[in-house]
Amino acid sequence: MKLINESSKTKIVNNTIVAILAIYGISQKRFDLNEPTLFHQLVTEVISPVQEGLSNSKKSLSAFWENYLLIVNTSKENHVLKKQISRLESDLTTMEEVRKENLRLKRLLSYSDEMSQQRVMAQVVGWDSANEFKVIRLNKGKKNGIKVMAPVITDHGLVGYVYRVTDNFSDVLTILDQNNRVDVMVERTRTHGIVEGVFNFKCTLKYIMRNEPVEVGDKLITAGVGGIYPKGIKVGMITDITKENFGMTLNVEVIPSVDFDKLEEVLVLIPNETAVPEAPIAVQEKKI
């Protein structure tokens, strides 16, 4: 029994010594760096660029895909925004047109308040384009109370008179037409004359004697003669005066007060039932 105990003690001592030596050896172990072989260097030099290229390609592909998705999303957003901007611009244009129309109608209504006659507001829906706007068509007719020989005006001045009317439309012979002769007078001198249409949106003032003191810039108004047009409506302005070497009258050029090229709304003055004026001329049939 005594021998067994001594043997066990001897084993324990030996195991303890071995463990101490093992721990000491591990703590003192050096990991020396071995020099790579030629083959290992060759493999490294060949494989490393490929690995680097694959890594860069992966990064580039990832960046490209992210940018592509970003561009696609941005393109969609731009398309939506462009549609919204287009719709807003269209709405703004419509609102601006409504605002301008309201201003024109407000001026026209304010101007018409000074008229004692019954009046009807109408819009220009057609014109004789082959005849330089000398005949215009309105969107109001007999159903609205419009009659033949009714004067047509705007807040800027005289347009002409109705020479043909149907239930829903009216045709107006403008002062630009050479067949429409308007009795006028020079506002400053009260000199009387006749305005007739000529060409290129201009008129001429006839029967002005050479000794009359008319000047460029003088304004013309209706004289109220003939029973068609009320007195005092603006007709135009003298822009040129020519004195011939012979003859008793002047050649006077007139620009109408109304800009017929931009005419949109007009006011039709309804004649009284008791006095239906006669046309200043025999109106020829015109087609629009």
State residue 178's pLDDT score. Answer: 87
Q: Which of 73, 88, 114 is the last residue before a domain boundary?
A: 114
pLDDT greater than 80 at residue 54: no
Residue 187 lies in a domain: yes
DSSP calls for the chain: -HHHHHHHHHHHHHHHHHHHHHHHHHHT---PPPPPPHHHHHHHHHHHHHHHHHHHHHHHHHHHHHHHHHHHHHHHHHHHHHHHHHHHHHHHHHHHHHHHHHHHHHHHHHHHTT--SEEEEEEEEEE-GGGTTSEEEES--GGGT--TT-EEE-SS-EEEEEEEE-SS-EEEEETTSTT--EEEEETTT--EEEEEE-STT-EEEE--BTTS---TT-EEEE---SSSSPTT-EEEEEEEEE--SSSSB-EEEEEESS-GGG--EEEEEEPPSS--PPPSS-PPP---
Q: How many CB atoms lie within 10 A of CB 284?
A: 9
- Asked if 263 and 127 sit in the same domain, the reply is yes
Q: How confident is the model at residue 61 (pLDDT cuts 50, 70, 90)?
A: confident
- Asked if 124 and 260 sit in the same domain, the reply is yes
- Asked if 127 and 266 sit in the same domain, the reply is yes
pTM: 0.61
State residue 33's pLDDT score. Answer: 54
Residue 222 lies in a domain: yes
Q: How confident is the model at residue 246 (pLDDT cuts 50, 70, 90)?
A: confident
Quote the domain boundaries for residue 177.
118-270
Residue 41 lies in a domain: no
Q: Which of 68, 96, 114 is the last residue before a domain boundary?
A: 114
What tens digit of pLDDT does each residue of 253-288 get? Answer: 999 999 998 888 899 998 766 554 555 544 444 545
- Asked if 247 and 107 sit in the same domain, the reply is no
- Asked if 190 and 211 sit in the same domain, the reply is yes
- Asked if 128 and 233 sit in the same domain, the reply is yes
State residue 284's pLDDT score. Answer: 47
**250, burial (CB in 10 Å: exposed 0-12, middle 13-18, buried 19+):** buried
Summarize the confidence of residues 147-156 as an average pLDDT.
92
Residue 26 lies in a domain: no
State residue 241's pLDDT score. Answer: 93
Average pLDDT, the chain: 78
User: Is the CB of residue 239 less than 8 Å from the CB of residue 216?
Assistant: yes
Residue 259 lies in a domain: yes
Q: How many CB atoms lie within 10 A of CB 72?
A: 10
Residue 239 lies in a domain: yes
User: Is the CB of residue 186 less than 8 Å from the CB of residue 218?
Assistant: yes
- Asked if 215 and 106 sit in the same domain, the reply is no
- Asked if 71 and 180 sit in the same domain, the reply is no
Residue 281 lies in a domain: no
Summarize the confidence of residues 49-63 as an average pLDDT.
69
Summarize the confidence of residues 77-105 as an average pLDDT.
72
Range in 71-75, 96-100, 193-197 the model is least confident about: 96-100
pLDDT greater than 60 at residue 252: yes
Q: How many domains in the chain?
A: 2
- Asked if 59 and 196 sit in the same domain, the reply is no
- Asked if 168 and 87 sit in the same domain, the reply is no
CATH number at residue 126: 2.40.10.340
Token pair 């400053």 is at which residue?
Answer: 188
What tens digit of pLDDT does each residue of 10-46 get? Answer: 767 666 765 665 665 555 555 455 566 666 666 666 6
Summarize the confidence of residues 121-150 as an average pLDDT.
86
Percent of the chain with pLDDT over 70: 63
Residue 133 lies in a domain: yes
State residue 287's pLDDT score. Answer: 47
- Whole-angstrom CA distances from 256 to 1, 84, 92, 160, 212 are 147, 44, 33, 11, 21
Q: How confident is the model at residue 3 (pLDDT cuts 50, 70, 90)?
A: very low
What tens digit of pLDDT does each residue of 170-220 get? Answer: 999 999 998 899 999 999 999 999 999 988 889 999 999 989 999 999 999
pLDDT greater than 80 at residue 53: no
